[in-house]
């Protein structure tokens, strides 16, 4: 199996410069000379005054995503991003409310934002390492952010840096309320998708539909009020471990005062690892919030054979066992959903399940309609 870095090179037509610090590179979508922004106009035929175009080949307003974000001041702006591999980190400030990001081809394989920082990567200024949050390829802080048809990736590999102990490498950290992602891909290994909030007291609502997420350790994690609908989660084999478990899919850190954590519905979990080598979830109670009460509901989903059916949940910290958290399942199918040890598979009743819905999680915000 090719490494993530070589796979991304193939996605970019085999010619992308994927070394750290390389300039953004792009490949054309379709025949040579095809419109790089597809059905979304162009600088000469702008959809509206609020729309900016990004193309590393110079056919847009900007050649890098961060440059376009910097220029997109105010609210309600749209960035249309031409197909290509953009090797850069992107930081979207909180004041870019209502920002929309669109992959111009509508195929997330074509438009990739990627970088390769990890928790343990030294900062260039010598001030220490990036830490988990600082490792994110994309950090998205604004409320009302929407993304369509994009890939967010972190292609840092453990094998390249066996000396690192901080191996978390975030593809995207999402913190804003009313953040929605449609048809996007999130690629990484440990801590791929950080669905979080701006502060402990803020219950950021997020919605992910028809998305693909892959990784190995805690690769969907954080304290957001998140609905993951019709998504595909892929657990990855590991060559650095000889025995199970290889990792965990979910690691919510829901604030104790928040009645809603992660809701996964109508989704599926597949694996490239041996059967039973992954746990479904473990609770994350961070040192910054020892009152966290992680919550996860997985319902109406297909769980593949990669999930350990005897012990599908694990405990991250001994003082916060998974049995004391808000974990539940309902009406799941597949070999990974078998209740071989019923005490280890907390189930909702039909009456309880009626309260675990996108409407209950997201309130007056209805991105699923």
**Alpha-carbon span 265 to 267, nearest angstrom:** 5
Tally of CB atoms within 10 A around 235: 28
Q: Are residues 110 and 37 in the same domain?
A: yes
Question: Is residue 287 over pLDDT 50?
Answer: yes
Q: Are residues 73 and 94 in the same domain?
A: yes
Q: Are residues 53 and 14 in the same domain?
A: yes
Q: Pick from 139, 157, 191: which residue ends a domain?
A: 191
Q: Are residues 180 and 37 in the same domain?
A: yes
**Alpha-carbon span 349 to 7, nearest angstrom:** 43
Q: Are residues 135 and 226 in the same domain?
A: no
Beta-bridged to residue 227, according to DSSP, are 207, 263
Q: Is residue 33 helix, strand or coil?
A: coil
Peptide bond into 245 cis (omega under 30): yes
Q: How far is CA 272 from CA 211, 306, 348, in A?
A: 18, 8, 29
pLDDT tens digits for range 11-38: 433 333 333 233 344 444 444 457 999 9
Beta-bridged to residue 186, according to DSSP, are 152, 213
pLDDT tens digits for range 164-209: 999 999 999 999 999 999 999 999 999 999 999 999 999 999 999 9
Q: Are residues 333 and 252 in the same domain?
A: yes
Q: Are residues 268 and 302 in the same domain?
A: yes
Q: Are residues 142 and 231 in the same domain?
A: no
Q: Are residues 107 and 52 in the same domain?
A: yes
Q: Pick from 191, 226, 255: which residue ends a domain?
A: 191
Domain range enclosing 169: 1-191
pLDDT tens digits for range 292-321: 999 999 999 999 999 999 999 999 999 999
Known catalytic residues are 218
At 34 the pLDDT is: 75
Q: Pick from 191, 211, 235: which residue ends a domain?
A: 191
Q: Are residues 331 and 245 in the same domain?
A: yes
CATH number of the domain within which 48 lies: 2.160.20.10
Domain count, the chain: 2
Q: Are residues 207 and 318 in the same domain?
A: yes
Q: Are residues 138 and 275 in the same domain?
A: no
pLDDT tens digits for range 75-107: 999 999 999 999 999 999 999 999 999 999 999
């Amino acid at each position: 199996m090719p490494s993530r870095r070589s796979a991304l090179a193939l996605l970019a037509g085999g010619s992308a410069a994927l070394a750290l610090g390389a300039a953004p590179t792009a490949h054309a979508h379709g025949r040579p000379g095809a419109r790089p922004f597809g059905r979304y106009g162009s600088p000469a035929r702008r959809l509206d005054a609020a729309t900016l175009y990004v193309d590393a080949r110079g056919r847009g307003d900007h050649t890098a995503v961060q440059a376009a974000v910097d220029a997109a001041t105010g609210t309600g702006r749209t960035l249309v991003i031409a197909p290509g591999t953009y090797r850069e980190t992107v930081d979207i400030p909180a004041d870019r409310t209502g920002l929309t990001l669109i992959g111009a081809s509508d195929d997330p394989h074509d438009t990739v934002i990627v970088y390769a920082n990890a928790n343990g990567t030294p900062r260039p200024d010598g001030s220490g390492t990036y830490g988990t949050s600082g490792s994110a390829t994309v950090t998205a802080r604004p409320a009302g952010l929407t993304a369509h048809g994009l890939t967010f990736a972190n292609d840092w590999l453990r094998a390249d840096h066996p000396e690192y102990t901080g191996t978390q490498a975030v593809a995207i950290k999402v913190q804003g309320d009313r953040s929605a992602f449609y048809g996007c891909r999130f690629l990484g290994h440990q801590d791929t998708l950080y669905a979080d909030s701006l502060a402990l007291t803020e219950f950021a609502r997020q919605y992910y539909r028809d998305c693909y997420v892959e990784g190995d350790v805690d690769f969907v994690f954080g304290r957001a009020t998140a609905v993951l609908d019709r998504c595909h989660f892929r657990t990855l084999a590991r060559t650095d471990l000889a025995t199970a478990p290889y990792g965990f899919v979910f690691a919510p850190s829901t604030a104790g005062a928040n009645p809603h954590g992660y809701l996964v519905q109508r989704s599926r979990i597949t694996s490239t690892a041996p059967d039973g080598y992954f746990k479904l979830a473990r609770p994350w109670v961070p040192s910054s919030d020892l009152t966290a009460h992680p919550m996860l509901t997985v319902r109406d989903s297909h769980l593949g054979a990669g999930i350990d059916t005897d012990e599908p949940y694990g405990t991250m910290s001994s003082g916060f066992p998974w049995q004391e958290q808000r974990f539940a399942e309902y009406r799941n199918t597949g070999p990974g959903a078998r209740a071989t040890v019923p005490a280890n598979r907390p189930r909702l009743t039909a009456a309880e399940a009626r309260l675990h819905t996108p409407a209950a999680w997201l309130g007056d915000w209805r991105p699923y309609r």
